[in-house]
């Protein structure tokens, strides 16, 4: 005898809505915290934005450049360098705004990729 899974009626359960709300709020909080990468180096008088080091800065800090990193350094260039559309650089407020927008865009792209992947897997499952 074959057992069937209960059909979803389209409505979400209370637990699923609660999970989605918590996940959304958590991701929004992380996106709003992304400017710390710009602010903290200024507060502590450090060099540049944390984690956005170029090959030359890594060579200076590490004392050498990992071979594979140096080979791939030319592949990716930021679409909005310095988080500003202006050629002369931008004020801190503008950089913070674009940093948050970049964080939200990254979250949206990853969420879209996950949704598409789930749909593809569900379609192949049938």
In sequence order, what are the residues at sequence separation of 6 or more whose Cβ sits closer than 8 angstroms to the Cβ of residue 120? Answer: none
pTM value is 0.64
Q: Which of 8-12, 29-33, 85-89 has the highest mean pLDDT?
A: 29-33
Of 26-35, 49-58, 81-90, 91-100, the range with the lowest mean pLDDT is: 81-90
8-state DSSP, 61: H
Euclidean distance between CA atoms 76 and 119, whole angstroms? 29
Residue 3 backbone dihedrals phi, psi, to 5 degrees: -100, 140
Question: Domain boundaries in the chain?
Answer: 27-74+87-125
* Average pLDDT for 63-88: 76
Quick one: pLDDT at residue 6? 54
CB 60 within 8 A of CB 47: no
- In a 13 Å sphere around the CA of 54, the CA atoms on its Cβ side amount to 8
């Amino acid at each position: 005898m074959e057992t069937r899974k209960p059909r979803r009626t389209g409505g979400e359960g209370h637990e699923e809505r609660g999970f989605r709300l918590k996940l959304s709020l958590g991701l929004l909080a992380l996106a709003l915290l992304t400017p710390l990468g710009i602010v903290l180096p200024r507060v502590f008088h450090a060099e540049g934005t944390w984690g956005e080091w170029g090959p030359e800065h890594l060579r200076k800090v590490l004392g050498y450049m990992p071979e594979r990193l140096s080979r791939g350094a030319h592949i990716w260039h930021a679409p909005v360098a310095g988080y500003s559309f202006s050629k002369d650089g931008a004020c801190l407020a503008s950089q913070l705004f674009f940093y948050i927008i970049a964080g939200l865009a990254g979250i949206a792209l990853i969420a879209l990729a996950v949704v598409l992947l789930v749909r593809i897997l569900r379609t192949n499952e049938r």
